[in-house]
Structure formats: C-alpha cells, structure tokens
C-alpha cells in the first residue's frame, strides 16, 4: 500500500501543500477552521509528516540527545543513569519531546555526535577541553554540561561534590579509620590524580580536606587511591587489587555506589564481612544502596532532579532564552550499616 503523501491531504482538503505544512508546523499562520479541516483529513487518510522532512521544514527534530560516556549495556547496569535519564525523560514528556541516548560509536563520542539528529545535547562528565565539547561549540550545537568543570557561556548542572566527599571521609575518620582506600572511576589520566578535573577533582578535594584534619594525605603509605571502571565488575577488580596491596585498607570510599557494591560483593567472595573486616562508603544513593547487605552508607545526590534541571536548561536554551546559568545541587551523607570501627590498626 502506497504511503499517504502531503499531496493527497492537500487534494482532499482543497488546500495547497504549503497550507498542509503550516497546519503541522506553524498553525498560527492559518485560520483555526482551516487547521482543523486539514488535521481531520490527515487523520482520515492516516497521514503524518515524515520526521526527516518535517525537521528540514522546521529546523527542529523535537529530540533531545543525552551524550553518554559508556556503551548502553554498561549504562543500563548503573542505576544512577536510570534515575538521571528518568529525570530528563520527565521533562521530555512534559514538553512533547523525544529523548535519544547517544553512546560512543565504536568507542568514539565524536562519532556519536555526528550520528545523532537532535536539537541539543545534555553532556555528562566531559572536560571543557574535550574535543567533543570543542566540536559542539564550533558547530553551534546547543548543549548543557553536567558533572563537569564550568565553561563560559554554557549552562551547567553540578552537585556539591566537595561537601559530599568531605562528609563521607570525616565519617570514616570519626570511626577511627586510618588505613584508607579511595576508589575513583576511570579518568583517562592513568592515575595522575593531580590532573583530575570536574567531579573527580572536587570529590578528591573533599576527601583530602577531611584527611588533612588528622594529618593524613596521599603521601602516606596507608592512604591509597586507585581507579576502576564505573561498574560492579570494576569495583570487584578494585577490591582484588586492594587486597593484594602491602597495606590493606580498613575502609574503602568509592566515588560511586555501583563501584562500592562491586567492592562489597568481591569482599564477600573473599570470605570477608562488611563492615567487620572492611568498611565501605559509596556515593550517589542509588535504590540498591539501601537494599544492599549490609545497607550501604553513601552520599545522596538528587539524581532525578539533576536530570530534570539539565533538560529544563536545555529546553530554555532551545527556546532562545540565552542562559549560562550554573546550578549546584546539594548532597547529603546517608548513614547506614556498612561502616564500623576498624577491627585492627
């Protein structure tokens, strides 16, 4: 059966093709009666504008893009992203927009940008000097940055990473821990922590500020930092590396709950008990944190709200409401049962 075209609708309604296009894309240019007549004929014939043709006419796709740092299977294993995407999706539903998830294409985020037909992007976790950010600016693609260093002229959403991390480390210190491991997600800097930016930089700064209150730093042999993939398996691998180290920690502070849960699972496989043999603190407060065994002490961040506000800023920008607003959302230490005093010193 042949596809119903704009010509068919125009002929049946007794109007021009231009009028049909206006009815769908710019109805204010027609009388209400004409718009309703055209839309009724279109419904009878089963006509809808082809999305590509419509985007060419309007200059808009009606789609927001979320530029992801990892592949879709890995992203969907992390409840943080489920919550964050849900927040963006709520605004898309409210505004009548679609959402496109744009993971790296064959490992390239630049290819993801090139392949995505969207009106603008929410960009999470990229540094301002990243080539992808440079390309977006050169092409005048509108975007909002999340969990990144601020960039002049670009709206952004961040959380109080420094305050949350400091509170988490102080909690460990107040329990008497002095053999401490910080487990960061991969930076691409091969562990050169002094070069960290964005989320990594601020969380590490919070940890280090708390350590300094008891005279500790990363120069001490009993204070370690290592990186791993931001996943359950990444956390498990981090635990295995920690347990092979000369100085085993009594507490591990992970920069995400998904890593912390991986650490806890691997510790159990080793025959250890959390928190008797190893205390663990996470970051995010994903739903699984409360259901963990034992329930995970963590830093809560407003994941859904962060997604909502990022999408709202992007929609405002797309409407021509210029903004370079920088928002910082609060964090909160959630104390549960995964931390106890060290069993040995």
- List the domain boundaries for the chain: 6-58, 63-157+303-327, 161-301
Calculate the average pLDDT of the chain: 91
Q: Could you give the percent of the chain with pLDDT greater than 70?
A: 95
Residue 319 or 88, more confident = 88
pLDDT at position 176, please? 98
Q: What is the DSSP letter of 214?
A: T
Q: Give the pLDDT confidence score for residue 5 in this predicted structure.
A: 84
Q: What's the pLDDT tens digit per position in 87-107?
A: 999 999 999 999 999 999 888
Q: Do domains 6-58 and 161-301 have the same CATH topology?
A: no
The predicted-structure confidence for 13-51, as pLDDT tens digits, reads as follows: 999 988 888 887 778 888 999 989 998 998 888 877 655
Domain spanning 161-301 has what CATH number? 3.40.50.2300
Instruction: Give pLDDT tens digits for 254-294.
Output: 999 999 999 999 999 999 999 999 999 999 999 999 999 99
For residues 309-342, b (16+ Cβ closer than 10 Å) or e, as one string? bbbbbbbebeeeeeeeeebeeebebbebebbbeb
| Predicted pLDDT of residue 2 | 66
The pTM (predicted TM-score) of the whole model is: 0.82
Q: Nearest-CA neighbor of 257 among 225, 237, 235?
A: 235
Top-level CATH class of 63-157+303-327?
alpha beta
CATH of 6-58, one of 3.30.360.10, 3.40.190.10, 3.40.50.720, 1.10.260.40: 1.10.260.40
Closest by CA to 168, choosing from 289, 267, 70, is: 289
């Amino acid at each position: 059966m042949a596809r119903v075209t704009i010509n068919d609708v125009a002929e049946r309604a007794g109007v021009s093709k231009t009028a049909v296009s206006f009815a769908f894309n710019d109805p204010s240019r027609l009388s209400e009666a004409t718009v309703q007549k055209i839309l009724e004929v279109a419904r009878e014939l089963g006509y809808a504008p082809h999305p590509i043709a419509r985007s060419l006419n309007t200059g808009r796709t009606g789609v927001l893009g979320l530029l992801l740092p990892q592949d879709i299977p890995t992203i969907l294993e992390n409840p943080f992203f489920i919550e964050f995407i849900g927040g963006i999706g709520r605004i898309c539903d409210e505004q009548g927009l679609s959402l496109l998830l744009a993971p790296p294409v064959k490992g390239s985020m630049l290819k993801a940008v090139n392949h995505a037909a969207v009106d603008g992007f929410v960009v999470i976790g990229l540094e301002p000097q990243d080539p992808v950010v440079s390309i977006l600016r050169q092409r005048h693609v509108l975007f909002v940055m999340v969990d990144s260093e601020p960039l002049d002229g670009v709206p952004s959403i961040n959380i109080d990473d420094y305050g949350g991390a400091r509170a988490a480390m102080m909690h460990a210190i107040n329990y008497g821990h002095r053999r401490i491991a910080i487990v960061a997600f991969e930076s691409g800097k091969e562990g050169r922590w002094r070069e960290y930016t964005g989320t990594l930089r601020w969380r590490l700064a919070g940890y280090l500020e708390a350590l300094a209150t008891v005279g500790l730093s990363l120069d001490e042999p009993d204070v370690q930092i290592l990186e791993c993939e931001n996943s359950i398996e990444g956390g498990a691998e981090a635990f295995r590396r920690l347990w092979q180290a000369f100085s085993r920690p009594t507490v591990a502070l992970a920069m995400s709950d998904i890593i912390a849960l991986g650490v806890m699972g691997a510790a159990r496989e080793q025959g250890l008990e959390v928190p008797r043999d190893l205390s663990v603190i996470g970051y995010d407060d994903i739903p699984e944190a409360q259901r963990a065994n034992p329930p995970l002490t963590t830093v809560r961040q407003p994941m859904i709200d962060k997604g909502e506000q990022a999408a709202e800023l992007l929609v405002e920008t797309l409407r021509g409401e210029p903004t370079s607003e920088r928002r910082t959302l609060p964090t909160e230490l959630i104390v549960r049962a995964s931390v106890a005093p060290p069993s040995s010193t």
